[in-house]
Copies of this chain bind each other. A is one copy, B any other.
Amino acid sequence: MSLQAPWRLTAAEALPLLREDKLTVTDYVKSLLERVQARDPEVKAWVWIEPSLILQQAKELDGLSASERGPLFGLPIAVKDVILTKDMPTQYNSRLYESETPIAIDANCIITLRAQGALIFGKTSTTEFASSKQGNWHQNLTRNARDSKRTPGGSSSGSGAAVGDYQVPIALGTQTGGSIVRPASFNGGYGFKPTHGAISREGLAQWSPSLDTLGFFGRSVDDFEVLAAAFRLNDAEVASSEAFKLQGAKIGFCKTHNWPKAGQGTIDAMAKAQKILTAHGAQVDDVELPGDFSRVLDWHADVLVGEGQTSFLGQYLLDKDKLHESIQGYVDNSRKLTHRQLLDAYDNVARLRPAFDELARNYDIIITPSVVDEAPLGLENTGDMSFCSMWTILHVPAINLVGFEGANGLPIGLTAVGPRYTDRKLLRVAKAIGDVFEAEGGWVADPL
């Protein structure tokens, strides 16, 4: 160990210490619990956390012999409260599910994590059923880890804030529009949304099955390597055995048709990123998306509405008055979306997926905005998803990279994307780029 408090460790730093008994799981979680106690009355990232359950799990893990210790041995993981955990309640920030009683089943991703030695730490706040309309909270208005007057982003609000605030090294989130990448950017951390379908969604709240994707928050790209191995993410093609080098790399910059929405912080971050990468010898090109891509955000909106109509029918019939009016509106189809329009959205986006993959294969990686700008002031509105939605519906892996700062001294991330099922390659390249962004961009994932 070192003089550093354990709560400051990233997952990739903590795991070897835990495995080699240089840090006990119990000491690690005690340190994290101290951080939670000190900070969470301000941040309010957690909707359910029980120290005695954490310490009990830690004790059991500490009792395992070296051969019984899985690859995630002792790793504390926060879980967005739309994911089933057999020993903790799951409440979806919904008045329909207010309960202290756990639903006695783990989501498939939780089974996978526990089977490899992870310690499920607690449940983090979400907007209602992970949807993203303003005021879509009936409890627990989480605050940004960097500025308590600002939103942490949503819908994975607590996961983004808890990791950004060092209360836990890793958190699970879900992304249907921009619910991982946006809170990662707002709280100054890394966020990784893998290829759609690469991780089981059994046991997650269902809003839009064509879009809902499980992903992660961490404070280093190395952390995601660990999780990618745990979930056995595999690329479509065998990776090159050569190490990735920025010198001579081909990097695309894609402003997207949404660029007019970009604020000064994001405009500056994109320009600075381009300069940094060029200075390191990368070939940087602007990526122009064909005209059809200008319609992707509309198709994304249609899929959200069309699938929301189906997904929330049960809860609506149970007691519609307990649902936020935006969710009632999906079931009532207040937007008058027809299934003809939904099918058009499906078929058009399905056509663009291989087209984007082909385009993206011309680059080692594509850099694109994560957010409009810094986290806005206020807590009710969790921000704008429009720079993220395209990557979600194209099903491609996306990672928020840390590195830049806005006018108010708050973090601004950029997103790296690649073709579908290039998750491992994306992480490898993102690691190199993230390192230079952190070194030269003005913001680091570990500011303390």
The residues of A with any CB-CB pair to B shorter than 8 Å are: 84, 101, 103-106, 108-112, 115-116, 197-202, 205-206, 209-210, 231-232, 234-237, 307, 309-311, 313-315, 317-318, 338-340, 342-343, 346-347, 350-351, 353-354, 357, 420-421
Q: Across the two chains, which residue of chain B brings its CB closest to A354? A: B347
CA distance A421 to B309 in the complex (A): 14
Assembled-state Cα–Cα distance A116/B318 (Å) = 9
**A112/B339 in contact, CB under 8 A:** no
Task: For A110, list chain B residues within 8 Å (CB).
Answer: 314
* Contact B206–A202 (Cβ < 8 Å): yes
| Chain B nearest Cβ from A323, distance in angstroms | 13
Q: A103-B104, A206-B108 are in contact. Are A235 and B339 (CB under 8 A)?
A: yes
Contacts of A340 in B (CB 8 A): 236-237, 421
Q: Give the chain B neighbours of A116 by CB distance below 8 A.
A: 317
Measured CB to CB, the nearest residue on chain B to A315 is B111
* A108 and B237 contact, Cβ closer than 8 Å, known pairs A202-B205, A350-B350, A421-B339: no
The reply to whether A105 and B105 contact each other, CB–CB distance below 8 Å, is: yes
Q: Smallest distance from the beta carbon of A310 to chain B beta carbons, Å?
A: 5
* Residue in B200, B201, B314 whose CB lies within 8 Å of A313: B200
Q: How far is the CB of A9 from chain B (nearest CB, A)?
A: 25
- Residue contacts A-B, CB under 8 angstroms, 24 given: A101-B104, A103-B103, A104-B104, A105-B105, A108-B311, A108-B313, A108-B314, A108-B315, A109-B314, A111-B317, A112-B313, A112-B317, A115-B317, A197-B209, A200-B310, A202-B206, A202-B314, A209-B209, A236-B339, A339-B420, A342-B421, A343-B421, A347-B350, A351-B351
User: When chains A and B are docked, how far (Å) is the Cα of A11 from the Cα of B200?
Assistant: 36
Q: Which residues of B contact A209 (CB under 8 A)?
A: 197, 201, 209
Cα–Cα, bound, A104→B86 (Å) = 10
Interchain CA distance A393-B347 in the complex, whole Å: 14
> Which residues of the other chain, B, contact A112 by a CB distance below 8 angstroms?
313-314, 317
* Residues A310 and B104 in contact, CB atoms below 8 Å apart: no
Q: How far is the CB of A138 from chain B (nearest CB, A)?
A: 20
Q: How far is the CA of A353 from the CA of B210 in the complex (A)?
A: 16
Inter-subunit contact A343/B236 (CB<8 Å): yes
